Chains A and B, each alone.
Chain A
Amino acid sequence: MKITVDEERCCGAGQCVLIAPEAFDQREEDGIVVLLDAEPAEGHHTAVREAASVCPATAIQLSESPD
């Protein structure tokens, strides 16, 4: 799995930080998403998928590897 985030779209809601703190954080000055880990370990994939689907700004894109 590979994560990309769109800082322009992000509205700083922090839902990703709550759901998948291993992969996401927020910039202190404006709350915009910071990607901590673009290729998180298998064990975090479910949480990351949930974060992408809950993100109110549709700012998180995932490309899943075929295997």
Chain B
Amino acid sequence: MTTSPVADDASAEIPAFPQPRAAVCPFDPSPELRGLASWGPLTRVRSWNDSTPWAVTGHAEQRTLLSDPRLSADFSHPGFPSPVPHTGGERPSTDLSFVGMDDPEHARLRRMVSGAFTIKRVEAMRPVVQEMVDDFITRMLAGPKPADLVQALALPLPSLVISELLGVPYEDHEFFQTNSKVLVSAVATPEERAAAHTNLYGYLDQLVGEKLARPGDDLLSGLAQQITAGELTRREAAAMGVLLLLGGHETTANMITMGTLLLLQHPEQLARVREADDPKVIVSAVEELLRYLSVVHLGRRRTALEDIEIAGRTIRAGEGVILLGELANRDPAVFPDPDRLDIGRDARHHQAFGVGTHHCLGQPLARMELQVVYPTLFRRVPTLRMAADVADIPFKYDAVIYGVYELPVTW
């Protein structure tokens, strides 16, 4: 083990990041990515722009680092890792509100909305979500076969849930889904993404204006109240609205499609989900699917503000750090036989929602939606099956959020 800068910079030896996911198994991190773990719990990687940020592969090291305030989430920082060419410093960090800020600014804004995501508040929404899921499935069953599960259920459900919570008219969903698709697209140009963001920001700003005039009983009206009280600027409110509206779309949608696809490939475990009387079985299955799939892939990204000693190495102030949650979630020290899907295992220590101060704000809601979706889908549609070969399903290897573009199913 060495911390000498010479060894750190021995360029020829530094593996590239990211590498394409292998065709071997679309559910597993690529062998090349996993190979990073053999370099130790943290190692340098080479990005497309020849920068060499640290990649952290170990579960324990990621938990320690993501809880460390010396790592900054401000993505306008020059050292912030930019793993794919279309990511860049072209956006100011306020664009996505508190996700790109550090405490105490981050906490000031986040705590204005976190009250909407307590366990009690989310539990109170469960019957409403159950009804929504039932409606989407009823409509799918009444429509033509095969159906695309992405369009029939996976995307509209989180979209409708978050719209109701925020007080965004769901009639506008085509507008915000189209723009959010451009925002996560791996192929959109920076200009296209800037335009999509401007559209969404303008839309939310107008809605906040309406809530200022006619407040209702929703989260955006709560933010409008904070503006009136002088606690929040209108700009901050609109940016927060964009983050909340987008944050739960692709993430939850891809968990629904990928989880369904994965369970269809494990019929015995699918049967346990379908037949479970005990809600604990479902809770545990959802945690295991979150662990196994790790749909927010390519890593949490941060910049070191000071030198940080960890695992015998020194991360220098100003250096970028990529924390690979999908590898933490396959760390054999925490999850024995990590590549086996086992909905009965205790998977609660997974890092699919991140760790630390930026831990997913929407996770109680996402968990509840998933706990409703899987058993309802398999009970209502017991003969559900794929209408295409898995080999022909287009996987989003290159997108920020991992998943499928469409999932043709029949019954």
Contacts and interface: CB of A to CB of B under 8 A. Distances in A.
Contacts of B363: 13
A28 B359 contact: no
A56 B115 contact: no
Main secondary structure of the interface of B (DSSP, over half): helix
Interface in A20-67: 26-32, 50, 53-54, 56-58
A18 B286 CA distance: 15
B356 A56 contact: yes
B359 A13 contact: yes
Given A30-B111, A53-B349, A11 B359 contact: yes
Contacts of A12: 111, 114, 117-118, 361
Given A14-B364, A54-B349, A58-B67, A9 B120 contact: no
A27 B115 CA distance: 8
A12 B116 CA distance: 10
B91 interface: no
Contacts of A8: 103, 107
Interface string B91-116: 00000000000010001001110110
A54 B115 contact: no
Residues of B in contact with A, size category? 20 to 34
Given A14-B118, A26-B119, A28-B118, A56 B348 contact: no
Residue among B112, B353, B357 with the highest chain A CB neighbour number at 10 A: B357
Given A11-B356, A57-B357, A57-B359, A17 B119 contact: yes
Contacts, number: 62
Contacts of A32: 111, 114
A14 B121 CA distance: 11
B165 interface: no
Contacts of B152: none
A30 B115 contact: yes
Contact of B364 (A13, A28, A50): A13
A13 to B, nearest CB: 6
B63 interface: yes
The listed residue with most B CB atoms (<10 A of its CB), out of A12, A29, A32, A56, is: A56
A28 B118 CA distance: 7
Contacts of A27: 115
B67 A9 contact: yes
A9 B357 contact: yes
Contacts of A26: 118-120
A56 B359 contact: yes
B347 to A, nearest CB: 10
Contacts of B111: 12, 30, 32
Contacts of A15: 348
Given A31-B114, A54-B349, A11 B357 contact: yes
Contact of B67 (A17, A50, A57): A57
Interface in B249-308: none
Contacts of A50: 348
Given A13-B359, A13-B363, A57-B357, A31 B118 contact: yes
Nearest to A12: B114
A13 B114 CA distance: 9
Kindly name the residue among A11, A29, A30 whose own CB sees the greatest number of chain B CB atoms within 10 A. Answer: A11
20 contacts: A8-B103, A9-B357, A11-B110, A11-B357, A11-B358, A12-B361, A13-B359, A14-B119, A17-B119, A18-B119, A26-B118, A26-B119, A28-B120, A29-B115, A31-B114, A54-B349, A56-B353, A56-B355, A56-B359, A57-B357
Interface of A: 8-9, 11-15, 17-18, 26-32, 50, 53-54, 56-58
Question: Which 6 A/B pairs are nearest by Cβ-Cβ distance?
Answer: A14-B119, A56-B359, A31-B118, A30-B111, A12-B114, A31-B114
